Amino acid sequence: MDNRLNVTYITFGGHVEVHKYRYLYFVVMFTVYMLIISSNVTIVCIIIIHKNLHEPMYIFIAALLINSVLFSTVIYPKLLIDFLSEKQFISYSACLCQWFSYNWLAASDFFLLSIMAYDRYVSICNPLKYTTIMRKTTVNLFLFSAWILPACLFSVIILLSAMTEICQFHLKGILCNSTVLTLHCVRSRIMYIYGLFIFVTILLLPLFFILFTYCRILVVSYRFRGVRRRTAETCLPHLLVLINFSCLAAFDVLLPRLELDTPKIVRFIITVQFVIYSPLFNPIIYGLKIRRINDHLKKLFFTMSKCFQM
């Protein structure tokens, strides 16, 4: 704690051999960050530019990819600074801000994946009612809810944390996530109960809803051969993204809460995987598996190759 400025600082202890490999870490993570920004922004711009992609499914994909850019921007700049710094630390207020943004955007991803599952359910199981149900106002309401509801839920726990006294000033990780709870002098029962409420609301309910909708979709696709190809084309990418994100999120949430004596290298690898995999592979999955997006990408790369040859 800095008594002169009355600012509390938190140190990160999760870095592995950062003094030895600082420049390697920096180059690798900076390259990954640039790839995340360029790939996600490319897909989003394609969806915005081409009118045949102005449909709910593609709008939700664009929202998910925008989330990936925001999520990465919350994490990567601080990580890159830490790799080049002699000491890795952050003010407690900035740590709470990063924790809020981290949880808010991750939870928003689950809500968006739930909305995308519902969109596919209506499209495949009730195609005649699709245009009536998925109107522009409905899409806007879904998007608004996916961003505002998680923000409201997590703002409460952040305010509770800000008012809770801390006795520890050292985090075992490399960023501010659920490990912030280990800094508190006393584990608040209110925060514990509210944390369970958020866990059920943000993670379990959307996950069960997604599984239910895809089970219904599979039943319909099994009965009608004509929709099997359409189901595979539009639903498989969503399932790949969901499985990838759910597994990494489960590790990230449960590991610090279980307080296991996990080796530092394991914590480091799991955290790095979480901040790399979803933001980087989401645009790749949608770019390769969604036919319309893939067609526009091929045209874009073909045009770019011709420009470079001239």
What is the pLDDT at residue 228?
58
What is the pLDDT at residue 308?
66
- Tell me if the domain spanning 9-309 has CATH number 1.20.1070.10: yes
Q: Give the whole-angstrom CA distance, residue 305 versus residue 284.
A: 20
What is the pLDDT at residue 3?
45
For the chain, domain boundaries: 9-309
What is the pLDDT at residue 252?
64
Edge-to-edge strand ranges of the sheet holding 89-91: 89-91, 9-12, 170-171
Q: Give the whole-angstrom CA distance, residue 134 versus residue 235.
A: 17
pLDDT digits (tens, 9 = 90+) for 257-279: 555 566 778 778 777 877 888 88
What is the pLDDT at residue 281?
84
∠ at Cα 136 (135, 140), nearest 5°? 120
CB count, 10 Å around CB of 18?
20
Q: Which residues of the chain have pLDDT under 70?
A: 1-7, 224-234, 244, 247-262, 306-310
The model's pTM:
0.87
pLDDT digits (tens, 9 = 90+) for 143-166: 999 999 999 998 988 888 888 888
What is the pLDDT at residue 140?
93
